[in-house]
Amino acid sequence: MIARLGIPALVALAALGGCVEPGANPPAQPVSAASAAGPVVPGETPADAIFAAALFGQICAENAPTFRNAGATLGGLPFRQHPQTGTYYHSNVNLSVKIFPPSSGTTACSMVFVSRDDAMTIGLAIAAQVSDDGQIGVNPDTGATMAQGPGGTVLIVEPTIRQGRDQFYRAVLRAGN
């Protein structure tokens, strides 16, 4: 069963989302892969729902549906790109971003992260940031959230694995190619 949430839920989340800038949690300076020493891995701090939503909106939604400029956006944020996989890892937060260009066969922007917030809070926060029409579907059994994104994209946010106290989530904005 999928529940549809309307404008009141979105307004509440949007009001909260306006309170936090994408770079506000935690503060950090941009780090390039070329200038930073050490392995390219994510940070250790879990992301909260508002931070994850703001960052996903800035990197994925604002660059949809082709995601061509997502790399440039990531270059201005505290991310390092893994030289073999192409995945971008946040320097302070346990969060990664992978861009799948049209040439890969599936055009998408994917973010995987750890959060201590529950699945519905995560899903609603990201969907409120991305939804084109304000219609958000939530599966109360799994916590998966779905919405229509900008430029004909489709958003899916879902919990994935748990490792100890860490719950991993995946948010994907996929173009309709």
Residue 123: phi and psi, rounded to 5, are -60, -45
By the 8 A CB rule, do 103 and 60 touch?
Answer: no
Cα–Cα–Cα angle for 110, 25, 36, nearest 5°? 70
Segments forming the whole domain that contains residue 83? 3-174
Q: Is the pLDDT of residue 10 over 90?
A: no
Distance (Å, rounded) from C-alpha 121 to C-alpha 129?
A: 12
121-143 pLDDT, tens digit each: 999 999 999 999 999 999 988 88
Distance (Å, rounded) from C-alpha 87 to C-alpha 110?
A: 10
pLDDT recorded at residue 37: 62
Task: Work out how many domains the chain is built from and give that number.
Answer: 1
Q: Is the pLDDT of residue 62 over 90?
A: yes
Distance (Å, rounded) from C-alpha 78 to C-alpha 65?
A: 23
Using 50, 70 and 90 to split pLDDT, how confident is the model at 150?
A: very high
Peptide bond into 26 cis (omega under 30): yes
This prediction's pTM: 0.80
pLDDT recorded at residue 177: 59
